[in-house]
Amino acid sequence: MGQNVSGPNRSSPYQFWRLGSNPPLRSSPFTAAYSSIPSLAASNPSPSLAYSIPVSSAVATRRRRVLLRRAAAQGLRGDLRPARPRGPRAADELFDRRERDAPAPVAAPEMEIELQSSPGNKGVGTVISFSASHVKKKYEDAILPAHWKAFETVIFREQDDGLHASAKIAAFDFDGCLAKTSVKITGADKWSLQHKSIPDKLQSLYNDGYKLVIFTNESNIQRWKNKRQQAVDSKVGRLDNFIECVKVPIQVFIACGIGKGKATPDDQFRKPNSGMWWLMAEHFNSGIAIDMDQSFYVGDAAGRENDHSDADLEFAKAIGLKFHVPEEFFGP
């Protein structure tokens, strides 16, 4: 049993109403045993940490009613037990007895919440709060080309002429999938096609009504604080040159955040997290619902023996997309 912060004063019109004591204090006119109300007991896990509140009899009565209403709303019933009555407090004892003998409060009905599907999935995805006022022309201190913008930890390419919203999405990783690159070498021209068939394949998909989208990670943009402009120019330059090479309009999202570490929170946009997909699906597809049966994702990080990670595979799984590796999709 916990210790009272102060003992009851018989000459005072106030008594101490002890919460959580078990058994009830005989010096209290009323005691709410929270142990019978799990949701309330959780806030006071140890009976020895119970506290006392000085209240008059009338105030105690009102507070008991509040507790009962709260318990009823949660479908629970509190154990309210009167202590030994004392002369003029017999009326309180009568109130308690009537209250105790009354029918059990009816539990509030459970409410079913309908979960609405996001445009990009049959299920519920991450809700990305997006506003044009949050779009920036710079990423941190790095200046972006005019047709590139930044939103939180994402850099995205503004829509080109000929790029149309579609229910069918053909999504791709960039490095190691569409282009051969090296993280040790920077430069807008330091890349080459990963497969010779890529331009024809992308053109065919575009002609079939697919919207082409690239989702790529580039944590160096965030990590290289002293060379951030160089990292931005290299990445967006390669992507611009690639799109010019294949002659097909493509939507691009770059996740610049750093992966989860000991002192680093997880970034919702960095693959394998699905934030980039939901940003595209909810805010960059003109409200058109995406057909998940016809859409797919291609990436090289599939968790195979020589792969650097399984981020692309897990990204596709998190969204519910069909997944292909580049060799399978584009051929040798």
**What is the pLDDT confidence band of residue 160, given thresholds at 50, 70 and 90?**
confident
Report the relative pairing of strands 169-172 and 211-217 from DSSP bridges.
parallel
Mean pLDDT value across residues 269-288:
95
Residue 84 binned pLDDT confidence (cut-offs 50, 70, 90):
very low
Please state the pTM of the whole predicted model: 0.64
β-pair partners for 33: 79
Neighbouring-strand partners of residue 172: 214, 298
Confidence grade of residue 71 (pLDDT, cut at 50, 70, 90): low
Res. 48 pLDDT band, cuts 50 70 90: very low
Confidence of residue 108 (pLDDT cuts 50, 70, 90): very low
Q: What percent of the chain shows pLDDT beyond 70?
A: 61
Confidence bin at 169 (pLDDT 50/70/90): very high
Q: Which residue has 């490095």 as its token pair?
A: 175
State the average pLDDT over residues 289-302.
Answer: 97
β-strand pairing of 251-255 with 211-217: parallel
For residue 34, name the pLDDT band (cuts at 50, 70, 90). Answer: very low
- Range in 89-93, 252-256, 306-310 the model is least confident about: 89-93
Specify the residue for token string 């946009």: 269
Tokens of 271: 């693959």
User: Collapsing DSSP states into helix, strand and coil, what is residue 70?
Assistant: helix
The arithmetic mean of pLDDT across residues 125-143, rounded, is 88
Backbone phi, psi, residue 101, to 5°: -85, -5
80-104 mean pLDDT: 54
Query: What is residue 23's predicted lDDT score, i.e. its pLDDT?
Result: 42
Token representation of residue 208: 């079939």
Residue 278 has pLDDT above 60, yes or no: yes
Q: What's the confidence (pLDDT) of residue 41?
A: 43
Quote the Cα angle for 13-18-23, to 5°.
125
Quick count: other Cβ atoms within 10 Å of Cβ 16? 21
Return the domain boundaries, the chain.
15-101, 132-330
Top-confidence residue, 110 or 306: 306
pLDDT value for 26: 41
Whole-angstrom Cα distance, residue 221 to residue 225? 8
- DSSP E strand boundaries for 227-295: 251-255
Q: Is the pLDDT of residue 314 over 50?
A: yes
pLDDT of residue 131: 86
Where does 132-330 sit in CATH, by number? 3.40.50.1000
Residue with tokens 């569409």: 178
Tell me the average pLDDT across 76-82.
Answer: 47
The predicted-structure confidence for 179-223, as pLDDT tens digits, reads as follows: 999 988 999 999 999 999 999 999 999 999 999 999 999 999 999
Summarize the confidence of residues 86-111 as an average pLDDT. 52
Q: What is the mean pLDDT of the chain?
A: 76
In this predicted structure, the answer to whether residue 300 has a pLDDT above a threshold of 50 is yes
Q: In this model, does residue 101 exceed pLDDT 80?
A: no
- Which two three-digit tokens encode residue 256? 């610049």
Whether 294 has a pLDDT exceeding 60, the answer reads: yes
Two tokens at 123?
A: 């299920």
Q: Is residue 18 within 8 Å of 28, Cβ to Cβ? A: yes
